[in-house]
Amino acid sequence: MGAWGAGAFEDDTALDWMDEAYSERGADAVRAALKAAAETPADQYLDYDTGAAARAAAEIVAIAHARAPGGLDDNDEAAAKEHAEAVRADRSLSSLALAAMERLLGKQSELCELWTEDPTNTEWLDAITDLRRRLKRGVE
């Protein structure tokens, strides 16, 4: 059974990205995941895997700046902080993370499409809104 939840680290695709790309390449993987989403043109489809990786990368940026979400599992927090110093050192990542989250919320986003099919399910949108709020605190 695969993981599927509204949290950034409640998704098998995001967890795989963390275990592979982020664990091996740190801040470079964060930048690549965020750029892949942010630079996907609005008229092109942002696929699920790209969106899930960008969401996890954006959450890592927030966590590296001591702006973790409430209720974060200790193991997930430790994994997210593995390269926190290098992520904090790249001052452009917060703005890039915000751009990626804007793109993730676009009409041509598979992840957004899947989570908003049921208009009564606001858990994912609430989580993205919270993440954007935490990221903005580092940019303002």
Q: What is the dihedral of CA 39, 11, 115, 69, to 10 degrees?
A: -80
- Domain membership of residue 5 (yes or no) is no
Average the pLDDT over each of 30-34, 100-104, 136-140 and give the range with the smallest value. Answer: 136-140
Mean pLDDT, the chain, whole residue set = 92
Count of CB atoms situated within 10 Å of the CB of 90: 15
72/59: higher pLDDT: 59
Q: How many CA atoms lie within 13 A of 27 on its CB side?
A: 15
- Domain membership of residue 118 (yes or no) is yes
Q: How many independent structural domains does the chain possess?
A: 1
Asked if the model's pLDDT at residue 90 lies above 80, the reply is yes
Number of H helices and number of E strands within the chain? Answer: 9, 0
- Domain membership of residue 7 (yes or no) is no
Place of tokens 């917060």: 94
| pLDDT at position 28 | 98
- Domain membership of residue 28 (yes or no) is yes
Dist. CA 16–CA 52, nearest whole Å: 10
Range of the domain at 81: 12-136
Residue closest to 31 by CA, chosen among 64, 73, 74? 64
In this predicted model, what pLDDT tens digit does every residue of 8-44 receive, in sequence order?
888 899 999 999 999 999 999 999 999 999 999 999 9
Q: What is the DSSP string of 39-100?
A: TS-TTS-B-HHHHHHHHHHHHHHHHHTT-PPTT--HHHHHHHGGGHHHHHH-TTHHHHHHHH
- Domain membership of residue 101 (yes or no) is yes
Asked if the model's pLDDT at residue 3 lies above 60, the reply is no
- Domain membership of residue 1 (yes or no) is no
